[in-house]
Amino acid sequence: MNKKQVYIYKAFERFWHWMQAILIFFLAFTGFEIHGSFSFLGYSDAVRYHNIAAYMFMILIVFAIFWHFSTGEWRQYVPTFKNIKSQLNYYIFGIFRNAPHPTKKTVLSKLNPLQKLTYFGLKILVIPLSLTSGLLYMFYRYPTRYGVDSINISTLKYIAIFHTIAAILLVVFIITHLYLITTGKTITSNLRAMLTGYEELEEYGAEENKPSDLARGDMIDKKESLIS
């Protein structure tokens, strides 16, 4: 089947991706210094820069949410369990045997089932946990200043634990993501696509007006159910 270069990752999508990566790396770096894992910037500067990066991360998230919902790109992250077993087998065994990829990437379906499930968990659970615990960590004293005693937090112990767990999960995701970057058609093809926006896709998958493989399957199932 013929292949062609397709503009699959839009400008804001690439900007959001790289800014998010930079901020997560920086937040992890300063956060683990605050945690006492090492000393580089000094505790006071690490706290200050960590807080600045956290605000930048929240602003980026607001813009990303607006972009995803205004463009409809949020649909890319709706999880599905179809083909997830074959995708998992591919990453564990098939990729080392040069097996064909079990799912086809298209403009309408950029993520495979395992990626959808992972990103969904990241956006719905891990990042909200990190942000919520981080904000509570920064402002836990503020409610009592204004007389709202009912939401007073007496200890940071559990907040710190949840924030650290979220940070570790983010670091694990980044490390896994760095490995998966190398699993494209070539070691650098996925990285190049996120830099330029263009990726080599099968010509059928490049047409935005054609349904994805999963969408076609759903249409066939619906037709068969109507006939029966």
Q: What is the pTM of this model?
A: 0.74
User: Shortest CA distance to 106 belongs to which of 32, 228, 209?
Assistant: 209
Residue 205 has a pLDDT of: 39
Residue 176 has a pLDDT of: 86
Residue 89 has a pLDDT of: 82
Residue 103 has a pLDDT of: 80
Residue 70 has a pLDDT of: 92
Q: Provide the CA 95 distance to its chain's centre, in angstroms.
A: 22
Residue 26 has a pLDDT of: 94
**What is the spatial distance between Cα 121 and Cα 24, in angstroms, rounded to a whole number?**
16
Block means of pLDDT (10 residues each) for the chain, length 228 residues? 81 93 92 88 91 94 93 86 82 78 80 86 91 83 51 70 90 86 81 88 50 42 42
Domains of the chain in sequence order: 3-227 (1.20.950.20)
φ, ψ of residue 152 to 5 degrees: the values are: -65, 140
**What is the spatial distance between Cα 110 and Cα 203, in angstroms, rounded to a whole number?**
15
Decide: 85 and 126 in contact? Cβ < 8 Å. Answer: no
Residue 221 has a pLDDT of: 43
